[in-house]
Structure 1
Amino acid sequence: MRGASSYAEACARHVWRVPAEYNIALDACDQWADGAGRRALVWDGADGAGETWSFDDLKRASDRLAGGLASLGLGRGDRVALMLPQTPEHAIAHVAVFKLGAVSVPLSRLFGLDALRYRLEDSGARALLTDSDGAGKARAIREALPELRHVVRCDRPARPDDAGALAFADLLARGVDGFTPVRTRAEDPALLIYTSGTSGPPKGALHAHRYLLGYNGVDYANNFFRPGDLYWSPADWAWVGGLLVGLLCPLAHGVPVLASAARFDPAGALELMARFGVTNTLLSATALRKMAVQVGDPRRDRLRLRAILSGGERVTPEIARWVEERLGLRINEVYGQTEANILVGENEPLIPPRREPLGRPYPGHEVAIVDDGGRRLAPGEVGVIAVRRGDPVIMLGYWNRPDATAAAYRGEWFLTGDLGAEDPDGWIHYKGRADDVINSAGFRIGPAEVEGCLLEHPAVEQCAVVGVPDPTKGEAVRAFVLLAPGHAGSPALADELGAHVKARLGAFQRPRDVEWVDELPMTVSGKIRRAELRQRSLTTTPARDEPAASPGAWGRRLSDAIRAALETGDLTGARRLALEGDGQAKSLGTEYTLMVRGLGITLRVLLRLLGELPPREALPALLRRFRSDLAAVATRAFTAPEAHAAVDDLRRLAANTAATKAAAELALTVQLVDGAEALFLAEQARLARDVLQALDAGDAARARALVDEKERAQYVPLHDRLIRFMAEVFGWVLERLGPDGLLRFHRAAAEGQRAGFEKWERMGPAEFARASAFLLKQHMGHVEVREDDEKFTIEQAPCGSGGRLRLAGAYAGPAALPVVEARGPLTAGEASLPVYCSHCPVWNGLAPLEWFGRPHWVFDRPSRPDGSCTLHIYKRRAGAPAAYAAALGVAGGSH
């Protein structure tokens, strides 16, 4: 509450004031239309054209449109669907529908034909206001929609009328100024917004006019609206966040809204906000992540931003830190859902943002953590996040689904379906989704709709979809498909299924990966066990020639997507894919650095440990002589003849002493490893950059040729070459330093690595298992993950290194080095050493934690002679193995 000095005071003073009669249009428009000409809408057209609409203009246009719609026979309770971009016509249409007493049905322009048909049919919409693209979709499905009487085209600029479609301007001409709004009660329906379904088709959440009154959290999350504010969000007005938070709430506070028809682009969004002086914005975590990756350091001095809201997906600490450092703001995260939105969040003056919790319930919203029976749980206990019945933001119910509505309540509590816990201070902590909704880039995707679409394809006998971790979107869709008789799985069929879903439902619901299965896991009642499939998704390779996370497979998917866009003449889409590809390459590169940085540190330590090095000035001179050859190595990843020649020449030149040879070999290796990270990023991003340049020049033919050329060349299998090279290096280390020196080397290397991997320690065992499996899959191929009450077990297939090194001869045996436990016979005089696993990204990340006895989960990683291994991640914390800790002279054992 404004004027309160504390959160407790704001809660104590809050009182809901919901009048018997209330209409959203009067609050969001007419109350501000006092003839003073205050701004309501600022429009940035796609062609550079711009307009400013006052509240008086908005009232006049919405009055006329309401009259025009009434002339078509539309009135109280009729559903009117809106499928439009961010334009003045879109805002006018919502206000007009509310004035008419009708029900607005927002629909996304991303919907394919099946998704659109279902929502129009289920809602019983009598009219659709859309653009020319939407009118074309409606025309294709019109015969299946007998209740859809009118299609109104709202193009900018106006286009020739389609047969059977009305023009927006004609409807305005039918109306008159001064339309008298239909008198509505606060409980009368106003909005029908479709949310994702998990066990059936999407459900329509029906909201009353009072819905807007319950959105007091938006004022809090904006650090309280002020005179002079200007609001903008790229969020689609078809979604509850974009429509309520990004349009209707600011208007209800007299704050003008910037509307833009441009497709979201990170640099373009920052430029837009700077050009128009935007002060408040709602940005998804995905949008912020793209800004951080693709823009990095924006011109902060040009921005007037004072409040950033984010919701729909969690903001990572890295993104929050980037916003604080580069934009000088702290993000106010908000939490809610279509059925009951903006319940919990933050506010700079009263609820200062914290990194981990969602926030605190906004004043007036009674939010609790309850069990399945509706019993309120104690602080710290995990249960379902619930809001008390009677809150203005709770929906009237699911459209034509009374059973589903009743199931959403437990006594006095409306259940959100999200899991959470409340700490002793009243902060709500998010613990995951209780159902199977997939949250991808802020879109909530119901698996049932995607599965239904896939089942329409003749090659699919049975299927299931789940969400899998995605470095850019948070989650992506993965499909498990049981093929119909006569069909065989292939990358081409996987692409065909993806295109099938994209055409019928929309690109955002398209499966990123497809896995062919012989059967789907089922419960005894015949329901799909999605939790098992999500766990399996950590371990299996999708239907592609290479693992999904590998550079080659990622590059091929990008190639395919750009080629498809070019073949359809979609230069804008190809350009967007190239930009997104560049960003995703950087995101994948951050995971890859776990390996290459660890190797770089290890080799530097080894150089310091060698006793006899050439003079400081000699080694740089030696390397400068072969600078051109080293450059060839850096660009060709050890594949060019010059690179091999450089290694051979360097070895010959440095053969005068063993120490000089060692120093030269290792110094060269350091150079190569240092270049590995940059090489990885360059190889992944090169296609995106080159295609982008071609598209900027308008040369579609060159863009296609570049894609074809890269497809033939594929991506450099850097990891395998690096493993082989490192095997030679570590073999040399063992030969020259011996077991004692090797132990000293590992101890020093671990000390050097420890600081670089502190983030592992902050993870819980489940998150740790997911991260470990991701890295192993990315770099080593197939892995399998199992879970029991005690631990997670990750089984890694042979990594291609050819097995562990074995030491023959006099050695004390494995007692001093029990980290690697032999699986398979060892001949007399042999012992298994952990040196060969030092190339492994997970080993490099975990070893410092084991060796130094710091709190961790992993203390058992037996390896096998074929290069495979088993990684145990225990659910209780433990220290370093006692024997190995004793050998290093550090504390160990369980904590």
Structure 2
Amino acid sequence: MSDVYQAMRNEFSLEIPSNYNFAFDLVEKRAKDEPNKVAYIAVSRDGEQMEEHTYAKLNAKANRFANGLRSLGCKKGDFACVVIARIPAWYEVLVGAMKVGVVSMPGTNLLTAHDLEYRINRAGAKLAIVTAEHAEKIEEIKEKCPTLEHLIIIGEDRDGWVNFETLCSENSDELSRDDVEPTGADDMMLIYFTSGTTSMPKMVPRDYSYGLAHAITGKYWMDLQDGDVHWTLTDTGWAKAAWGMLFPPMLMGATIVLYDGDGRFDGDFHLKLIERLNVTSFCAPPTVYRVFAQMDLSPYNLGSLKHCIGAGEPLNPEVMRTWKQATGCDVYDGYGQTETVNIVANYKGMEIRPGSMGKPVPGLTVDVVDDDGHIVADDTVGHIAVKMTEQHPYGLFKGYFKDEAANAKCFSNGWYYTGDTATRDKDGYIWFVGRSDDVITSSGYRISPFEVESALIEHPAVAESAVVAKPDEMRGEIVKAYVTLAAGYEASDELEKEIQDFVKHLTAPYKYPREIEFRDALPKTISGKIRRVELRDEAKA
């Protein structure tokens, strides 16, 4: 087994051209070489409509949007806040923007007006490109966003907005690379927002080389082959969408499933869709596999599946056994961040050790180190880190946008510190321990306690709060808040629900505390800082 892994590392090769642009070098090239190859299958919410989108069709529509951007005066380096559901326009906007050099900032469809205002102003975004259900949020905050010049709406007409469909129809589906400003592999292509505990969401720039670096993700962990049908369950606003719905599947020649599902997960519907589309490659958060494991899987024909992967938190062995009995597939765990491509994984041909995220990917040196950058002994807790090398590590970002303090913290001693901790066993398998910055992972969402605390404190009843992760069998972790009340308020079930609803409306709903415990006082250090470690231990008890 170790020979298979070492052979993968020895045979690794990846060259990123200095002028690489995924939209031209992959999408447009394939549109010319294999115009009828299916890039993705768009599935309507009720499952009644299924439409194949070829590379020729995708490229033509992306060109129309790119030319539309040019007609609005948009240029390389402009920022665009993009909030689009799982519909074809998501691809057309992102690929079209890449061609022009406009930097897309994908956001989850759960963002509130408050969240959007922060992101637009933090980046100085020039455009907001959203589906109709988000237009009202943008209108609510646009007067507080002085850099916004263009509002583009998908799906309806609205006063003061440019209609996406009209804009595209009025522009040519031809675009020469010579007609746009060149983009280098090091130029910014995307920005994602991530979270921490000591600041609001940080901006993670992803350059054009990031697209091609995802060949590592697609080849090794995802094990994608030309002709596969791949389905990743994720919101379009997360970097996971770049992993599972864009770069790796397209690089490897797989067809992507684009299902416009709503927020309520229907296990039966998803399993039937795997059958109908003959899905061969499937990626879901552990929460979904746990739901499937509680169902009777015998009525479903899941024989098309060849490779299944999961990420976010370890899967318990019983769920893995149940899934394998039903499908014949193991679930291969993997690890990476918004700031990276896949960097640790389990691979075909290697022993899977349930609970382990696997071994470092070929092409990168990943290890467990101490605060000073020294590799720790086997079975010792340390930081998961990526070795900085003369060739900048493939797919690793260069640093947070306009945040030197955060950069100084994560790039140190010749390593990039991921902010997560782990142990490494004698055979090189890495075992996740926890998050250095206390980020909570619930149902695949990464949630910053700081963001939840910032929302809680705005409620008049909340004097002080501390937010921690509480283990949960179904979701992995849930958000638990410890709250002290302001004068004049008394703890009650009604007040708990009122505060929960308040947080749901102020920030993305998935971040609200599912449990609130009212306290007379919170534990603190001698300097007055809240001892969250004490509260975390209580929540785990």
Q: TM-score, normalised by structure 2?
A: 0.94
Deviations 1:538-591 (A, max 9, x none): 5xxxxxxxxxxxxxxxxxxxxxxxxxxxxxxxxxxxxxxxxxxxxxxxxxxxxx
Relative to structure 1, the CA distance from residue 235 to residue 27 in structure 2 (aligned partners, 3 Å threshold; closer, same or farther) is farther
How many angstroms apart in 2 are the aligned matches of 1:375 and 1:468?
Answer: 32
Would the aligned equivalents of 1:22 and 1:210 in 2 still touch at CA under 8 Å? yes
Aligned mates of 2:298, 2:250 — CA distance in 1: 29
Aligned partner letter, 2:174: G
| 2:113 aligned partner | 113
Which deviates the most, 140-149 or 300-309? 300-309
Take 2:117 and 2:288, find their aligned partners in 1: how far apart are those partners? 29
Name the CA shift for 1:423/1:537 in 2 (closer, same or farther; >3 Å).
Answer: closer
User: Residue by residue, what CA displacement relative to the aligned partner does 1:581-615 show, whole Å, maximum 9, x if unpaired?
Assistant: xxxxxxxxxxxxxxxxxxxxxxxxxxxxxxxxxxx
Contact 2:271 2:300 in 1 (8 A): no
Equivalent pair of 1:67/1:179 in contact (CA under 8 Å): yes
**How many residues were matched structurally?**
530
Q: Shift of the alpha carbon at 1:142?
A: 1.4
**1:535 counterpart (531, 534, 537):** 537
Structure-2 change in CA distance of 1:121 and 1:301 (3 Å)? same
How far apart, CA to CA, are the structure 2 residues paired with 1:269 and 1:409?
Answer: 41
1:498/1:13 Cα in 2 relative to 1: closer, same or farther (>3 Å)? same
Find the aligned partners of 2:77 and 2:35 in 1 and give their Cα distance. 33
Q: Deviations over 1:478-524 (max 9, x none)?
A: 11111111111111111011001111212210111111122222234
Q: Aligned residue for 1:195?
A: 194
What does 1:204-215 align with in structure 2 at a 5 Å threshold?
204-215=203-214
Q: Are 1:12 and 2:10 counterparts?
A: yes
Give the Cα separation in 1 of the matches to 2:221 and 2:7.
Answer: 19
8 Å Cα contact 1:470/1:476 also seen in 2: yes
CA contact (8 A) 2:302 2:326 kept: no
Q: Secondary structure at the match of 1:237?
A: coil
CA distance in 2, matches of 1:284, 1:409: 29
> Which amino acid is the alignment partner of residue 89 of structure 1?
A
1:333 equivalent to 2:329? Answer no
1:378 aligned residue: 377
- Give the equivalent residue in structure 2 for 1:422: 424
1:738 corresponds to which residue?
none
Q: Is the 8 A contact 2:220 2:361 kept in 1?
A: no
SS at match of 1:190: strand
Deviations along 1:764-820, one digit per CA (max 9) or x if unpaired, are xxxxxx4xxxxxxxxxxxxxxxxxxxxxxxxxxxxxxxxxxxxxxxxxxxxxxxxxx
Tell me which moved more, 91-100 or 233-242.
Answer: 233-242
The reply on whether 1:243 has 2:245 as its aligned counterpart is: no
- Is contact 2:216–2:341 with CA below 8 Å preserved after alignment? no
How far 1:162 moved relative to its partner? 1.5
- Partner secondary structure for residue 6 of structure 1: helix
For residue 178 of structure 1, the aligned residue among 174, 177, 180 is 174
Post-superposition offset of 1:298 = 4.1
SS of residue paired to 1:398: coil
Amino acid in structure 2 at the alignment position of 1:103? V
SS of residue matched to 2:427: coil
Q: Deviation at 1:216?
A: 3.2
Distance across 2 between alignment mates of 1:117 and 1:284: 29
- Residues 398-448 of structure 1 show CA distances to partners (whole Å, capped at 9, x for unaligned) of 121012112101221000111112222211111222221011011000011
- Contact 1:135/1:165 (<8 A) preserved: no
- Find out whether 1:317 has 2:320 as its counterpart: no
Say if 1:28 and 1:249, in contact at 8 Å, map to a contact too.
no
> Can you give the 5+ residue segments of structure 2 that lack an aligned partner in the other structure?
none
2:228 is aligned to 229
Question: 1:246 offset after TM fit, Å?
Answer: 2.7
The aligned counterpart of 2:104 is 104
**295-304 vs 528-537, which deviates more?**
295-304
Instruction: Using the TM superposition, give the Cα deviation of residue 279 of structure 1 relative to its aligned residue in structure 2, in angstroms.
Output: 1.0
Change in CA separation of 1:28 and 1:522 when aligned onto 2, cut-off 3 Å? farther
Q: Indicate if the aligned counterparts of 1:285 and 1:311 stay in contact, CA closer than 8 A.
A: yes
Q: Is the 8 A contact 1:64 1:173 kept in 2?
A: yes
One-letter code of the match for 2:14? W
Which protein, 1 or 2, shows the higher relative CO under an 8 Å CA cutoff with sep ≥ 6? 2
Find the structure with the greater CA-based Rg: 1
AA aligned opposite 1:106: P
Q: How does 1:40-439 map to 2 (within 5 A)?
A: 40-47=39-46, 48-155=48-155, 159=156, 161-181=157-177, 182-221=181-220, 224-263=223-262, 264-293=265-294, 295-349=295-349, 351-389=350-388, 390-439=392-441
Determine what percentage of the aligned residue pairs are the same residue: 32
Question: For residues 138 and 483 of structure 1, do their structure 2 counterparts lie closer, same or farther at Cα, with a shift above 3 Å needed?
Answer: same
AA aligned to 1:8 is Q
Structure 2 residue identity aligned to 1:495: K
What residue identity is the alignment partner of 2:507?
A: L
Alignment of 1:526-565 (within 5 A): 526-538=528-540
Q: For residues 125-166 of structure 1, what are the alpha-carbon distances to aligned partners after superposition, in whole Å with 9 as ceiling and x for unaligned?
A: 2112211111111111212111122221222xxx3x122222
Taking structure 1 as reference, are residues 28 and 318 closer, same or farther at Cα in structure 2, changes over 3 Å only? farther
Q: How big is each residue's C-alpha offset from its partner over 1:676-719, in whole Å with a ceiling of 9 and x where there is no partner? A: xxxxxxxxxxxxxxxxxxxxxxxxxxxxxxxxxxxxxxxxxxxx
Which residue is 1:477 aligned to?
Answer: 479
Q: Could you tell me how far apart the structure 1 residues matched to 2:420 and 2:61 are?
A: 41
How big is each residue's C-alpha offset from its partner over 1:633-682, in whole Å with a ceiling of 9 and x where there is no partner? xxxxxxxxxxxxxxxxxxxxxxxxxxxxxxxxxxxxxxxxxxxxxxxxxx
CA distance in 2 between counterparts of 1:413 and 1:482 reads 40
Contact 1:521 1:528 (8 Å CA) reproduced: yes
SS in 1 for 2:162: strand
Cα distance in structure 2, aligned partners of 1:80 and 1:475: 33
CA shift, 1:119, in A, is: 1.6
- Which letter does structure 1 place at the counterpart of 2:284? L
Q: Is the contact between residue 207 and residue 397 of structure 1 (CA under 8 Å) also seen in structure 2?
A: no
Change (3 A) 1:65 1:338: same
Give structure 1 stretches of 5+ with no counterpart: 539-769, 771-895
Query: How far apart are the structure 1 equivalents of 2:55 and 2:175?
Result: 15
Structure 1 distance, partners of 2:299, 2:208, is 41
Give RMSD over aligned pairs: 1.8
* Contact 1:212–1:244 (8 Å) recurs in 2: no
Relative to structure 1, is the Cα distance of residues 536 and 422 closer, same or farther in structure 2, using a 3 angstrom cutoff?
Answer: closer
Q: Is the 8 A contact 1:467 1:477 kept in 2?
A: yes
1:30 has 2:25 as partner: no
CA shift, 1:53, in A, is 1.1
Higher mean alpha-carbon deviation, 411-420 vs 31-40, is at 31-40
Tell me which residue corresponds to 1:561: none
Instruction: Give, in whole Å, the separation in 2 of the partners of 1:29 and 1:348.
Output: 28
Structure showing the higher helix proportion among its residues? 1
Question: Within 5 A, what are the aligned runs for 1:705-724?
Answer: none
Paired residue for 1:677? none
TM-score of the two chains, using structure 1 as the length reference:
0.58
Question: Per-residue deviation at 1:223?
Answer: 5.8
Deviations 1:83-120 (A, max 9, x none): 11111111111111111112111101111222222122
Q: Measure how far apart 1:219 and its partner are.
A: 2.5
Partner of 1:301: helix, strand, or coil? Answer: coil
Letter in 1 for 2:138: A
Q: Which amino acid aligns with 1:504?
A: L
CA contact (8 A) 2:460 2:486 kept: yes
Secondary structure of 1:456's counterpart equals: coil
Q: Is the 8 A contact 2:223 2:307 kept in 1?
A: no
What aligned pairs does 1:721-736 form with structure 2 within 5 A after superposition? none
Q: Is the 8 A contact 1:214 1:391 kept in 2?
A: no
Change over 3 Å in CA distance of 1:499–1:400 after alignment to 2 = same
- Give the partner amino acid of 2:214: Y
What letter is aligned with 1:164? Answer: G
